[in-house]
Amino acid sequence: MGKTGIFYGSTTGTTEEIANLIAQKLGISPDDVHDVRDFTREMIDQYDYLILGTSTWGDGEMQEDWLEPVEVLSQMNLTGKTIAFFGSGDSQGNSFSFCSGMGELYKKLKNTGATFVGCVPHDGYNFNHSEAIEDDRFVGLPLDEVNEGKPVTEKRVEEWTKTLNFNPRSQKLD
Ligand SMILES: Cc1cc2nc3c(=O)[nH]c(=O)nc-3n(C[C@H](O)[C@H](O)[C@H](O)COP(=O)(O)O)c2cc1C
């Protein structure tokens, strides 16, 4: 089993908390949970599996700390690496761009050669539109602490991390 790194962009701390929760569920060391503000290309080289998280701001944009790192990542050859996404958003206040930032991240990285896992059916979410939907599924795990609260987040994370065994049984996005 290779090494997993979590990178998150978070403005008010919600996505950061979720990143730590995912790490806890997967037994990932806090040393491997990174604020994307600290991103360097060399950090990516040490990981086989990447879990990338962003909240959504503006009108469907990824969290701003991702803007430069994602450009660097998108120019890298990530063949052999496996990537899963998670996002936090507001499905009621921003019902037409729910967790769209997660979709922006995916779109920037989809041609890097990486394998993408951890997509999620949209049943059980109440929203109108999301740029994070591809082939009728979310490209990663959307979370809505604004409306659903922490217990639901915990349950969604618990279920998602169980599917994230980074083997071929995980749902592939290609
Ligand atoms: C000005 C503003 C714009 C937002 N835009 C969106 C949006 O377009 N889509 C969405 O799903 N959530 C949106 N949100 C909700 C945030 O993404 C949500 O509160 C998130 O949990 C914040 O996470 P963070 O603290 O990790 O940045 C917005 C919130 C604010 C205050």
Whether 39 lines ligand 1, by a CB cut-off of 6 Å, is no
Instruction: List 50's β-bridge partners, or say none.
Output: 5, 83
| Atom 19 (ligand 1) nearest CA | 89
Whether 121 maps to a domain, the answer reads yes
**Alpha carbon separation from 16 to 55, 74, 121 (Å, rounded):** 9, 22, 23
Classify residue 71: in a domain, yes or no: yes
Read off the pLDDT band of 1 (50, 70, 90): low
Which of 57, 65, 88, 91 maximizes ligand 1 atoms within 8 Å of its Cβ, making it the mutation to test the pocket? 57
pLDDT above 70 (res 169): no
Q: Record the pTM.
A: 0.95
CATH number at residue 77: 3.40.50.360
User: Which of these ranges, 29-43, 101-115, 116-130, 153-167, has the smallest mean pLDDT?
Assistant: 153-167
Report the nearest-CA residue for atom 20 of ligand 1. Answer: 89
Tell whether 170 is covered by a domain: no
- Whether 168 is in a domain gets the answer no
* Number of domains within the chain: 1
For residue 33, give both structure tokens: 């949970």
Q: Is residue 173 part of a domain?
A: no
Residue 171 belongs to some domain of the structure: no
Q: Check if the beta carbon of residue 98 is closer than 8 Å to that of residue 91.
A: yes
Q: What is the pLDDT of residues 43-66, one digit of tens each?
A: 999 999 999 999 999 999 999 999
Q: Assess if residue 174 is contained within a domain.
A: no
d(CA 156, CA 122) in angstroms, rounded, equals: 12
User: What integer is the mean pLDDT of 155-173?
Assistant: 72
Domain containing residue 89: 4-163
Residue 103 Cα distances to 47, 81, 109, 168, angstroms = 22, 19, 10, 22
Tokens for 95, please give them. Answer: 């019902």
CA-98 nearest atom, ligand 1 = 11
Report residue 121 as tokens: 């059916």
Ligand 1 atom 31 nearest Cα: 57
Report helix angle 149-163 to 14-26, nearest 10: 40
Query: How much distance in Å is there from the Cα of 55 to the middle of ligand 1?
Result: 6
Ligand 1 atom nearest to CA at 88:
21
